[in-house]
Structures are given as C-alpha cells and as structure tokens.
Amino acid sequence: MPGPLVTINKHTTSSNPRPHILYTVQVTRNGKHSVVDRRYSEFVALHDSLGVKDVSLPPKRILVTSFVPSAWLDDTLITERKAGLADYLTKVLQHPDYQDSQALQNFLAPGKTSQPQKFDAEDAVPSTLSRKAALDLLRVQSGEVHEQATLIAAAYYPDWSAGSNPPENLNFSKFDILFFAFATPSASAGLNWDSGSQSILQRLVSSARNSGKGTRIVLSVGGWGGSTNFSSAVSSASNRSTFVNALVGAVNQFGLDGIDIDWEYPNSVGAGNPHSPSDAANLLTFLTSLRSALGSSRIISAAVPHLPWLGSNGQPLTNISAYAAQMTYINIMNYDVWGASSNPGPNAPLGNLCGTSSQPTASAQAALSQWTAAGAPASKLLLGLPLYGYVSNSTKTKLTGSFAPSNDMVLIQKEDSQGKNFLNGAHPREQTVQQQAANADLRSWYGQQIPFNSIVASGALVKKSDGTYGQGGGFTMAWDDCSDTPFLFNTAQSTVVTYDDTFSLGDKATFARQNGMAGCFTWSLDQDDGVTLQNVIRSSLGK
C-alpha cells in the first residue's frame, strides 16, 4: 500500500479572535481522505503532544516579519510554511512512534481541533500587526499583559490636513492605522486624485516607514462627496477589473498597506449619487476580486453607516458574512446622527440610554448589535469617533435630540434645501476653515461642523491641568445622559455646540474594548487638540 500523501496547497484567513492564517491540510492514507484547516499553532500543539524529537517544524517567524511589514514577506512566509508543514506531517505519519497516536488522529479529524485557548502570535497575518502589536501578542502569550493591548487605534488623515499636520510632524506612535482620504472613483473606473494629494500620500508613507512605529497606511477611496462613480465602477465585470487594477496599482505605487472603501452608500442616493438595486451584490463581487488581487495580507476595510448596506429590496442586508470574510475591518461611522438644528441633538450617541431616542438604530450600541446580527464579527468592527461637533442657532439648554425628532435637522431629514438626501454617518469631503474670534463667539459657525480644536481655540472650552476640558468664554457646559455626550450653550448668543470630549470618547472606546470590537478610528486626525483626544482613546482601549 502506498505511503501517506500530504498536500497543503491552499490557505485562508479568519478574523476571530484576530486576523490569522488557516492552512488547508489534505491527507490521503490507507485509502481514506481527509481535509482540515489548521493554524500553525495547532501544529505546534501536536508536536508538543507527541513529544516529537527527530522531526522539525518550520521555524517561528513572527518577529522577523513584523519588523518589516511588507506583503511579500507574508507571501514568502505562507509559501514556506505550506511546504514545511506538509513535509513535517508526512514524516510524522510515516514514523512508527507517532503514526497511530490519538493526538494525530484528532488533528486529522474534521470537526476536532487541538488549537490552544490563547491566540498565538505565530498564527497572525504578519502585516496586520504593527511591531508593537506583534510584541504585545507575544507578551500576551507569556501571560505578561491582557490580550486587549492589541486593539486598533486608527484615524483618518484627509489630504487637506497636510498644511496644519504635515506628515513629517506626526507622532506615528499614536496611530496603528492611518486612512489617507481621499482618492475617488473616476467615471472610467479608475482613480481621481485631488491636486497635490499623491505627493502628500508619498510623504505620509515615507514618514510612517521612517518612524519605525509600524503605522500602516491605507488609501481611503470615496467619501461623502466622492462616491458618485462607485455604482458604475462595480457594475460590470469589465469595470470591476479596471477598478481593482487601479486600486492594486495605487497600493503598489505608494507601498500601501491596503484599501478602504468609503462608498456612501450602495443603493442609496447619498450626496445625489447614481445608484442601483444591484449595488450590494456588485459590492460583494468587487470585494472578492479585490481580496484575490491584493492577497491575504493587505487591509481591506469599508466605512459604513449604523445599519448594513441596502440590498436590492431597499432594506438593510440581513447577512453580510460573505462580505466580512473578504474584509479586515468594517469602520462604523457613529457620527452625524444629529446635525445643526434649532433643536440640537447628540452628534455621536453611545446609546439610546433613556429609551427615548427618535433614532434608536443610530448609536454605537445599536450599530454593534445591527452589524453583528447580520454576521459581522465584532473583532472586525472599528468604532468611529468624531473629533468635531455642530454649532446650532438655538437657545436650548437641553438636547432634545434624545427625545423627539426635529423637522429642521441638517443630516437626518429626508432632503435638505437643495434636494439632497443625507444619511447617518457621512464622511464630509471637505470642511470650511475659518478664523475664530478670541471671545468665544461661535455664531459664524452656525449650521456647520466645528473641529474640537476650534472650540478650544475660541475659548468656549478650556483645557484643565488634568487633561480634561471645562467651560469658558461665557459658555456653560452640560451633559446629556441619554446619549452620554457633552454640549455647550450660551443663551445670550443663541448658540449651542454639540461635540465629544475626553469623557465621551473615553466611554465609547471603553465600550468598544469591553464588547470585543477591533478598536476605534477617528474622523479626523487634524481636528484633535494636539493628540489629547487620541491619547484618551488609546488609554481607554488599553494601549
């Protein structure tokens, strides 16, 4: 009878509890054929269980690859592992001391697993880990730290922020991922770039690599005002191929770590966009093609609203597990829930904490529940945190958004004065930059988003010695318990400012950590008061 035949020609990736590699092991022995998916660490567990002395496993390599997080190292590692693991298992199956052991039978039996309880750093897709994250995982493995230390603290870096936050001046130790915003789909399924943005992206990548902090740079494509051509770009096999090639070309040209799809939104008008009932189905085909073209090591993410994408029936999809399988992260935009209004409401509620919200599906808690119910692993969800607020012309001293709808809301109403639909969680393409007076008069911001650092610069918020912020400049600070968010008001000026601060952002980051989410991202880096808010987010994530 012929000897055992072992082949490991395929692999896949899984997200729980962290992005990791599963090797597809096919064994033919004694006329029987079995196929199982196993982690590298399961081979290690088998090796230890058998007490193998005279057959060697492929070596551990995570530290080598994490110090140089390039995709070709991932591919090289995986290829080497496949050959090495197949050779190892062949020798074990041929060895008289091991071939009939129960541990080996369990290892080869579908439905049984010997995988360890704790996640092993060697199982990880290397380029999904920064150097620090790889070291943290190794420390977790040895029991030195809690596993949550590897949560992601990310931020969007808009191209228009290069003036105020040059790439060369960034403290990359604060950011695990930076999403560079934006390139946009062109009418011919290629990419359009803002003037000078490619040069800024080159500088950002170069600065990140030179920092040695392991910060990954991902190109975000689309945005609230940049999603016009998405539906067309994924509408046919030809267009999808062209679009995928353009994205892969950008990744290769700039040495990027992945692509973020910021389509606002499939099968929805968004900022007046063409759309189709086939958008969601086409998006899945596109993501599958993009994953195949980029390989398993690159990041594929998407910025999404509180509810899953709309299907062909115009309702949120009830099963997005096939999408999630192709994706590294799903970025929930928990902001723009309530815009500027004479009846101001919370921009980014943690939850419907009083049970009185007129928008119960629009909060961090609701989004987590809605996406996971539809099949998204919590470990792939990044919670979006705004570093900006809204300035309203109002004399209110309480936020009514938690209790009753308003007909004059900027972002939630069916249509604005120009006939454009707005949905929760919009990424604006651009923002108005204004010089603010020093007397905490924010009336020139009526109806607009205002960066957190502009609120501070105006004097309406004052940084205290403990790193938190208090009221100033004639404004009164108050707290909305129903959304867990702060706000400022000045009745003499008929001004209300809804925003997020160290307390509310810390609470939301803690929520993400306690609920097994992948971490948090902010929109956007340039709106922080230095890195004060980012520091609070990182601390609340356990970093």
The single residue listed with the structure tokens 């000078």 is 196
Task: Match domain 151-540 to its CATH number in 3.20.20.80, 3.20.20.10, 3.40.50.300, 3.30.930.10.
Answer: 3.20.20.80
Domain ranges in the chain are 5-141, 151-540
* Whether residue 524 has a cis bond before it, omega within 30° of 0: yes
Q: Which residues pair with 450 in a beta bridge?
A: 389
pLDDT, one tens digit per residue, over 255-270 is 999 999 999 999 998 8
Residue 144 reports pLDDT greater than 80: no
Task: Say how far apart CA 107 and CA 354 lie, in whole Å.
Answer: 51
Q: How far apart are the first and last CA of the chain?
A: 56
The token pair at 32 is 């029987």
Backbone angles phi, psi at 294, to 5 degrees: -85, -20
pLDDT, one tens digit per residue, over 413-428 is 323 333 333 344 545 4
Angle at 353 between CA 351 and CA 359, to 5 degrees: 55
Residue 321 reports pLDDT greater than 60: yes
pLDDT, one tens digit per residue, over 388-422 is 999 999 999 998 654 433 344 333 332 333 333 33
Per-residue pLDDT band for 146 (boundaries 50, 70, 90) equals very low
The token pair at 420 is 């454009």
Per-residue pLDDT band for 31 (boundaries 50, 70, 90) equals confident
Q: Span 57-62, mean pLDDT?
A: 68
Residue 53 reports pLDDT greater than 90: no
Strands of the sheet containing 388-393, edge to edge, are 449-451, 388-393, 495-498, 485-490, 476-480
- 291 vs 14, 298, 301, 538, CA distance in Å? 13, 8, 11, 29
Task: Match domain 5-141 to its CATH number in 3.40.1050.10, 3.30.460.80, 1.10.260.40, 3.30.1520.10.
Answer: 3.30.1520.10
Burial class (CB in 10 A: 0-12, 13-18, 19+), 112: exposed
User: Higher model confidence: residue 199 or residue 114?
Assistant: 199
Asked whether 521 and 382 are in contact (CB, 8 A), the reply is yes
Backbone angles phi, psi at 450, to 5 degrees: -130, 125
Q: What's the half-sphere exposure (Cβ side, CA atoms, 13 Å) at 226?
A: 24
Q: Which residues pair with 304 in a beta bridge?
A: 332
**pTM of the predicted protein model:** 0.71
Q: Is 152 helix (H, G, I), strand (E, B) or coil?
A: strand
